[in-house]
Structure 1
Amino acid sequence: MHSAGLRRPVAALPIMIAAVSDLTILLLLLAVLGLLAVQLARRQRALRGEIALLLGRIDRISEGNFDADLPPAHSPEFGQLSDAISQMAQRLKQTIDGLHEVAQRDTLTLLHNRSSFERSVERQLKKDDGNAAFLFIDLDGFKSVNDALGHNLGDRLLQVVSDRLKLASRIDEPNVAETGSPGDRPEMVTLARFGGDEFVVFLSGSASEPIAEKVAARILRVISEPFELGPHVAKIGASIGIALAGKHGKSYSELLRAADAAMYHAKRSGRSRYEVYSSALDEEVLRIAEQEQELREALTRGEFELYFQPLFDCRTLSLSSAEALLRWRHPKRGLILPGEFIPMAERANLMNAIGEWVIGEAARRIAEFAEAGRPLRIAVNVSPNQLQTVEFIAVVKASLQRFNAPPHLLELEITEDVAMRDVALAADRLARIARLGVSVAIDDFGTGYFPIWPV
């Protein structure tokens, strides 16, 4: 009995050992899980910290701070994400800088645009002690070239003009002000395209009146040179107005108004010249502006009239044709002759509109005479601007169709000097007019060198 009782504990020993081993393993697992939980908690706190840093960086980028750096990341993944955000910030900065640059430039010529020029001038006026000059440049004859050759070559002409202005203003690189020796050139030159065919130059520093006139003379010289535009050669000029800071104005708007008035006077005085502003110009500018406005309103008010100078056949003494003569019946000044208002119409770019009215009125009168059984050929003078526009042939055709006027009773006259300006263009226009059935005549033929073959 005693021996049997001793065998039971010995038999239970393996079971006890196995139980202890399972407990040890369980404790080890719990320890490992505890360590993992601690690590995960630490990692979670680190991740929240890195995410907060990245979000903070993104917020600073949205506020325009593109150069803020991040501390080193604790993981490769966050390091790659941080690098990607930094690269994105730099690309965004470059894009914004590029857009800012574009916003200050004229897209065609790459010069300063109007708003950028105004800001630059205002800054310089605050720094200078009055030694500054404002030049307002308006191209003479650009519209005719643009109408004749098309907008593409017109744009190219403006680009070449801007290049020449840079040279004349002593600028070596586009839109970069240049420093010059005292007494020889202004300390700073700002050049801009003001709009259309208008340019402005601001000379600051030692820009006295003689210096401004010297720059204006250089500009006139380089603009007067022929422009090669593919197979075409164009010649234009420039009218320049000069205003001096302190003497003619202290603010940007005052200098702009004075320079514009001086430019207008230069254009009225013969073009291709410069004029320095004086207070006496204000009254003249106001008077001219009022006259031009009256001329514009004359079209809508029906103040233009056609008179007819008859032409008789010497053999039969019968009326064979008539030449249309334009007159302006001003409500206060009475009948005004073309010699007074045509130059004004040319400066105000009204010649095409007035010429279109004349052709239409002539077609209407031709139709009236024909319907009354008294067909009469009427001759109409064509201005250089009309002949050069691409719409001219369409205007003639539409006027005839509108009033059902016989084309052979309309005669269009151009002077030889007009045809000589561009022989190929004149020949093309004359041929297309003839195909409409309209008669063509060259006035003053033989006074120049217009070839006979186009006729």
Structure 2
Amino acid sequence: MVVHLRDVSAHRELSHQVSRLTYTDPLTGLPNRRALLRTLAELRDRPRPWRGCVLVLDLSGVQEVNETRGREVGDAVLVEVARRLRAALAPDHVLARLGGDEFAVVVGCAPATADGVAARLIGVLAEPYAVGGGRVLLGACAGVAEFGPTATPDELVAGADVAMRRAKSLGGNRSERYDESLEVQLMRRSMLTAELPGADRRGELDLLYQPIVAVDDRHPVAVEALLRWRHPQLGTVGPEEFVPIAEAAGLIDEVGGWVLHQACRRVASWRAEGRPVQVAVNLSAVQLRESDFVAQVAAVLDAYEVPPEALIVEAGEADVVADVPAAVHTLGGLRALGVRVALDDFGTGHSALTYLRRLPVDILKADRALIAEPVTPGTPAAPLAEIVVRLGERLGMSVVAEGVETAEQLSALAAAGCGYAQGYLFGRPMPVEHVEAFFELHADGVPRAIGPSTVD
């Protein structure tokens, strides 16, 4: 009898060990993915419907820690992550490690409350980690999926994972909530990412041109080259969608180089025909930080025998403020070549005004919000235009007003002394043949450029 009891006790202990190995993450001691799915299945099968959400958290930076500091330090970081999450959650929340640098939380609350939990956890995980005799910083993003009675546990976790990947694609350090449209968006992004390489060689990239005119007589002085992707299945894809993909995939040199070549080839052709118009191209955030970008521009100008002052390079205000030293270096190098430099989207609230005196800029492109139609009837049509124009004058910069759509706005800009404007009032982005017809309509105007050429 005693021997039999000992056998039962040993069997129970063995079963307990097997269960622990089956349902526990060995590094953190947390429940693993299998345990999480079992918990979700139990909640689904309750007699009374259970309301709650699943959160999937993804850490960024762990792989870099493993590569630079060693896997032991990386493991220590993950153990600390688990400790912080445990401490930040309520006793009735279920925390699990899905594997790698992903964790999951089951919370018995409505989606809006779960969003708040996700935001709090992201903040907790962003605090520095003191491990391995040094300091480690991580980022995190989260996806939230609401518990549905018809969804399987796997589908619920997959939904939260889709939302997490959406948050990650938007820059991380944020959370997103799952809905079915997210899967469509992610499938579209996946397709664009897979098919963007070689789009230039397949003839799918296209440039449209929007005129920039002198305010006094509407004579065209420049055109802005605007990129489009003519995708064979998805139709026209705008740069706001695929340029971030190109940056993330390391393809921005390929895409940006194509734009620069095409724009310079076109302006060389126009100048040979007696049209001394300038062409503006947009600079991406990644290109702004590239040490050899100025040399790339110089080589393209030389290849098409385009004088540097015929090219305007536009850098977005947000991108410049994000890395002012890199912006000063790159834009200063372009200016030294004789290329005109424009600060795009000026006035969008990114504090460029603080750095404006330091920036090697020739042209301020005032954001459309600064000249938008007033809400109150009878007020000036462009109330902030005069302020921007005076600022440009004090700093020796030309001002281009973007997004001009009405004659009233144009009159207000003229009264404020603004020299140049761009917008649907003069022309939408158009193909080459249409912009050339636009030139012909204004063939009697006096050829000119935006402000004097500036070479430091």
The structure richer in helix per residue is 1
TM-score, normalised with respect to structure 2: 0.50
TM-score, normalised with respect to structure 1: 0.50
Q: Work out which of the two has the higher radius of gyration on C-alpha atoms and give 1 or 2.
A: 1
